Structure 1
């Protein structure tokens, strides 16, 4: 009877995928388990200054685009950095003040040099859509509408300037394209990385072939972590299914205190160590 019903041909359950999940699995399966599987979640480490800095810049720019066009001035943008500022992760108030002023300068110059008069289609917009064997989803910093197409924009505040290769190779941006075009029902092929510290924009226009390559990689990774999750639920050994991947990334892992291999990989970084000099 079961064979007649054809259970083997039943629709496969789609795997929910975010760029973060894919990145964490590639980085370290044990960290993936602690982040997404273990309940309750193991205690995390404290805040990182570079993460605080990035969040403040993102929040300031989002608040700017919520204002009427006439109020989207460089001076207002810089002031919004102060409004959203936090000292979390910095060595002390003096260091925090230096980077607060630096971030205000980045945002000021960005608004001065970029056209901010058009209202975005989305700000911190959650997009989600079934594509292939996965549900691609995530929160996009900004979605513009230009020349009849959506443009995916990701703000960056890291140390290094970004290139066209970074935009082309970003799996996160490619998945956002796939999800946004289904969620918002408009054409979408273009992605941009806006690097605030240098004021540069790295852009790429995807083809269906390049998007398919990113999708295939995401599907393969999703299959890997879902198999590990399902096997663990069936009684498999989590230590075998989610092995540690010791390396330099252990120095800033949020779960370092719960991982002997990570602690042995090297000393822990100070919370402000990943800021630009």
Structure 2
């Protein structure tokens, strides 16, 4: 599998230190804001309450996972909608009316998605699969929403999205998470994995990208750089604010550790828990 040419890409010196385990979520937190990384993974600071957009995403993921767990004949749009009801929770929504509105929306999204991508389709290679691979000085790992087979016998990464942003091809191309999932899936399943897809259920959009060796190597290099920087900051003996500086920006209004971050609070008032929903 040429896309995992670890020694050729990084050389023997990359193995001189213990491997750093990194998930896309952890790496993304470091790149967004080192202070949030510290508060989340090092200090384990108290976090804010649930947000409706996250709740909605979790419900949709649970419904689709349960749908794939049923026999093929029972993977119908009607069953998909019923599984939204079974997994529903109203955490983070403004009121009962908003809960009802988005519960009905989620039922429609999942039923339409099942009709297009699940009912009558071949079984996926894996659903909610943990994948892992050493690459350079890190171990890239994480849980993939779904892994499909392509006609040539390779694997395809599928990541569900329910947020306000409608993904396009550059989102799939530039996603470090999808690229790392591809690398880890190739090693875990021993199949070539280059195609990655973002499936946006509210709009039915599928944004896809076909990686090559060069693009995967570029993502791996950036991931290694970020993961090692985070590990070095965590191991260093110094001023935490200097080692883990804040990166204030619009996301601070929705940050779940902003109560402990004056710079984040200064960006603006906290967003309501139901802000960020699609539509």
TM class by smaller structure: over 0.9
Task: Indicate the residue corresponding to 2:5 in structure 1.
Answer: none
Task: Indicate the residue corresponding to 1:128 in structure 2.
Answer: 132
Greater shift after overlay, 222-231 or 74-83?
A: 222-231
Task: Indicate the residue corresponding to 2:10 in structure 1.
Answer: none
Task: Indicate the residue corresponding to 1:165 in structure 2.
Answer: 170
Task: Indicate the residue corresponding to 1:257 in structure 2.
Answer: 259
Gaps of 5+ in 2: 1-12
Question: Which one of the candidate residues 77, 84, 87 is aligned to 2:87?
Answer: 84
Task: Indicate the residue corresponding to 1:236 in structure 2.
Answer: 238
Quote how far apart the aligned CAs of 1:93 are: 1.1
Whole-angstrom CA distance in 2 between matches of 1:155 and 1:237 = 39
- Name the SS for the 1:90 alignment partner: coil
Whole-angstrom CA distance in 2 between matches of 1:9 and 1:155 = 33
Higher Cα radius of gyration: 1
Cα deviation digits, residues 1-30 of structure 1 (max 9, x gap) = xxxxxxx99732111111111111111111
- RMSD (CA atoms): 1.4
Quote how far apart the aligned CAs of 1:160 are: 2.8
Whole-angstrom CA distance in 2 between matches of 1:9 and 1:36 = 24
Count of aligned pairs: 265
Question: TM-score w.r.t. structure 2 length?
Answer: 0.92
Quote how far apart the aligned CAs of 1:115 are: 4.3
Q: Is the 8 A contact 2:46 2:257 kept in 1?
A: yes
Whole-angstrom CA distance in 1 between matches of 2:86 and 2:247 = 39
Change (3 A) 1:135 1:209: same
Quote how far apart the aligned CAs of 1:146 are: 2.2
Cα deviation digits, residues 79-119 of structure 1 (max 9, x gap) = 11011000000011110010000010001111112244322
Question: TM-score w.r.t. structure 1 length?
Answer: 0.92
- Name the SS for the 2:220 alignment partner: helix
Gaps of 5+ in 1: 1-7
Quote how far apart the aligned CAs of 1:186 are: 1.2
